[in-house]
Amino acid sequence: AQTVTQSQPEMSVQEAETVTLSCTYDTSESDYYLFWYKQPPSRQMILVIRQEAYKQQNATENRFSVNFQKAAKSFSLKISDSQLGDAAMYFCACGRGAGGSQGNLIFGKGTKLSVKP
């Protein structure tokens, strides 16, 4: 079974500053993927970034980057130059890799990020 833990229920960051959201996971799978999704007040889940577990290089998407520590089963999200539009709930999720169902993501409880002007 897979579990995903986000230990920070809420975080706050000043506009233009950098913030890091934490996520740890546990899985018995050798092949898996990790995701960060953003859910603004509109409730639409939006993919922020994804990481394939077999890749050692940390994924980056513009101002968003991850610190993937496979041995520690840690997958943190760093947001640089924070903007007001980054305010949202952020969910970390894990999915199995090849084989079986690919449509089953396990989500953490989420971290609510506030951005102060």
Partner 1 sequence: KAGVTQTPRYLIKTRGQQVTLSCSPISGHRSVSWYQQTPGQGLQFLFEYFSETQRNKGNFPGRFSGRQFSNSRSEMNVSTLELGDSALYLCASSSGTSGRVETQYFGPGTRLLVL
User: Rule CB under 8 A: which residues touch partner 1?
Assistant: 31-33, 35, 37, 42-47, 50, 91, 93, 95-110
C-beta of 93: minimal distance to partner 1 in Å?
Answer: 8
Compare residues 64 and 107 and give the one whose CB is closer to partner 1.
107
Q: Which two tokens stand for residue 77?
A: 């999200």
Among the listed residues 88, 77, 81, 91, the one whose alpha carbon sits nearest the alpha carbon of residue 113: 88
Q: Residue 2: which of 25, 22, 19 has the closest Cα?
A: 25
What gap in Å lies between CA 108 and CA 23, rounded to an integer?
Answer: 8
Smallest separation (angstroms) from partner 1 to the CB of 6: 10
Measured in degrees and rounded to the nearest 5, phi and psi for residue 101 equal -75, 135
Least Å distance between CB 14 and partner 1?
28
Q: Minimum distance between the CB of residue 69 and partner 1, rounded to whole angstroms?
A: 20
Which one, 9 or 117, has the nearer CB to partner 1? 9
Round to whole Å and give the CA distance between 109 and 86. 18
Looking at beta carbons only, is 13 or 38 nearer to partner 1? Answer: 38
Question: Which residue from 61, 7, 3 is spatially nearest to 36, judged by alpha carbons?
Answer: 61
Nearer to partner 1, 3 or 18 (CB): 3
